[in-house]
Copies of this chain bind each other. A is one copy, B any other.
């Protein structure tokens, strides 16, 4: 991971916004999955490239959230002028996206580029789906799961596929997919249950954003109040806190969490029998690590 981190910074260093986005960091779960999925291989450089490429795709989608905190302030000083060219966030995203493909292309294996481009197209469709469904409290469970599949599971699957492709091991895509779904579900549960000191972000951020997730979908099945809720009425953090409490009171947070734990168990079952014991253990540890965030 030290080599991957250094490579990420090197790639992003051509441009300050890109570097800020990459340095804003995160848990680096996806590149770690690439490395563990390629465990036992001596192709360290190729694995690092694949790991960096996956994280660059992930970073590209985070640009508007974290990477450009300084940009609005700078723009605020020139309120009467239209910004020059496309927004910096869009261009930074474009740069990180392109850099991901340029980096992976250096491995010289088409199947790897196919896996990455399919996953990144799915991710973008998932983002757009989330936006299209914003403020719609009646999002169905099926549609929510499809969004998680596109937005999160496919890149996790690609991370594991890439590691296996580079390392020459058995296919690990299905494991990655289930781990990715579990990760997204738990992340959505944590947004409702908090506590903020553990998660690092305010409870109900998704609700304030108009994003409907599993706990609310399940809670609406048993609560008349939540079933009639208009998300547009949630404007203050205190409103969001109150709705989070109402969702938790129905037991929906716990039900959503159990669903995520089932997916972790599914992920472990998806590990192919020919997976070497050491690698199996490492992958199982990673899957369990997701749950520990919640425990």
* Chain A positions near chain B (C-beta within 8 angstroms): 14-15, 17-18, 60-61, 63-65, 78, 80-95, 97-99, 101-102, 105, 108-110, 113-114, 116-118, 120-121, 123-125, 127-128, 130-131, 133-135, 208-211, 232, 235
Q: Which secondary structure dominates chain A's binding surface?
A: helix
* B contact residues around A124 at 8 Å (CB): 91-92, 94-95, 97-98
Q: Is the CB of B130 within 8 A of A84?
A: yes
Closest-CB distance, A75 to chain B (whole angstroms): 10
Q: Is the CB of B89 within 8 A of A102?
A: no
Please pick, from B86, B105, B114, the residue contacting A102 in the complex, using a CB distance under 8 A.
B114
CA distance A208 to B99 in the complex (A): 31
Which of A14, A84, A93 neighbours the largest number of chain B CB atoms within 10 Å of its CB? Answer: A84
CA distance A84 to B110 in the complex (A): 35
Q: Is the CB of A87 within 8 A of B88?
A: no
A–B pairs, 27, beta carbons within 8 Å: A15-B125, A18-B128, A61-B86, A63-B86, A63-B90, A64-B86, A64-B90, A78-B232, A82-B209, A82-B210, A83-B134, A83-B209, A85-B134, A86-B127, A90-B93, A90-B127, A91-B127, A93-B93, A94-B97, A94-B124, A95-B125, A98-B120, A98-B121, A99-B117, A101-B113, A102-B114, A113-B113
Closest B residue to A94 using CB positions:
B124
Q: Is the CB of A14 within 8 A of B232?
A: no
Please pick, from B98, B121, B232, the residue contacting A95 in the complex, using a CB distance under 8 A.
B121
